[in-house]
Amino acid sequence: MKNCLKLVCVLGALVGLGVQAPMAVAAGGKSAEQKVAKKTVAQKSAAQSASKPAARKQVAKSSASAKPKAKAVHHVSSSDGDLDPRRLALYSASALVIDQSNGQVMVEKQPDAVVPIASISKLMTAMVVLDAKLDLQEVISIGDEDVDGLKGTRSRLPVGTTMTREAAMLLALMSSENRAAHALGRHYPGGMPAFVQAMNRKAHALGMVNSNFEEPTGLSSNNVSTAHDLARMVAAAARYPEIRNFSTTAEARVDLNGRIRDFHNTNALVRSDNWEIGVSKTGYISEAGRCLVMQARVADKPVVIVLLDSNGKMTRVGDANRIKRWMESAGLGTGGMRRSV
């Protein structure tokens, strides 16, 4: 009986050891896996930490390249191997640079997109007034009809202000005064309807096939055009001495009802000694973004520059300066290039 009990105890002990051994192995295996896992995690963490600066740099680079309109917008042909397309990046949604000496397109970006053009419209307003050969010394007045009821923009010309047609044109082109531009259209023979018809007839005559004008200020988003069409308009405007003079005047003192007022050009580049500008006009409404058109001499070439819907308050000026530096550094005054895409 005692022997049987001993045998049972021995078997029980062996069975207990047999069960505990696998459990111990399993527990030991889990601990090993955890160590391996921890080591792997530590290695990954170290690798990630080591790569964090590079990752941040890459993210910043990607973020910069993801900004709208921040990529280079042109490619040159193989014959212009000295021109690096990465040297020119434009932030305007539409852009066009044309060499007036031969009509060659030098830079372009969405040049046929039909978009609102804001106060660039005032160049057409001035041309229509001058084409009608109206007396520039005739006194016209600012009326209630000239107050902006569309955008609610402010003006330094109170209702009742009188000035010569010449002064109104100067303020419209130089300081982009909306009431002055509207008054020019309202005092046109036949009134505003006749003036708007004349604007669209002029556009058609210039070959501006994708343009439409609804009023003389550009406050309406229905005043639309393309960079190609506007290049035609700017080139035409450059043939009017009055437009060349008024649009590039840096500042002027104007007598308004016996009170002298100082006005400044909306394009800061006309005050720069680094630019030789023949025609200038800026524009802005929310639908159009910030726009700039110019006829200028760059790298000893007469060029028309059109920049529409620039991304940022100063970007249109920045784009113009980038184009100028690119042309000068590329030596485009002595050589040509294929148009960009």
Active-site position among 69, 94, 109, 119: 119
* pLDDT for the residue 34: 41
Active-site position among 69, 92, 109, 122: 122
* pLDDT for the residue 185: 98
* pLDDT for the residue 332: 58
Q: Can 122 be counted among the known catalytic residues?
A: yes
| CATH number of the structural domain 78-330 | 3.40.710.10
DSSP 166-209: HHHHHHHHHS--HHHHHHHHHTSTTHHHHHHHHHHHHHHHTT-T
| Closest to 176 measured CA to CA, from 281, 253, 320, 309 | 281
Q: Can 247 be counted among the known catalytic residues?
A: no
Question: DSSP assignment, residue 107?
Answer: E
Q: What is the chain's pLDDT, residue by residue, as a tens digit (341 residues)?
A: 444 444 434 344 433 434 343 333 333 344 434 433 333 433 444 334 444 333 333 333 323 333 333 333 443 322 233 455 456 789 999 999 999 999 999 999 999 999 999 999 999 999 999 999 999 999 999 999 999 999 999 999 999 999 999 999 999 999 999 999 999 999 999 999 999 999 999 999 999 999 999 999 999 999 999 999 999 999 999 999 999 999 999 999 999 999 999 999 999 999 999 999 999 999 999 999 999 999 999 999 999 999 999 988 899 999 999 999 999 987 655 444 444 43
How far, in Å, are 8, 29, 86, 153, 204 from residue 22 at the CA level? 22, 10, 67, 85, 94
Active-site position among 176, 211, 225, 247: 176
How far, in Å, are 70, 98, 140, 176, 232 from residue 219 at the CA level? 27, 27, 21, 11, 21
Can you give the residue ranges of every domain in the chain?
78-330
- Which residues, other chains included, contact 253 with Cβ-Cβ below 8 Å and sequence gap of 6+? 260, 261, 262, 263
* pLDDT for the residue 206: 98
Count CB neighbours of 230 within 10 A: 28
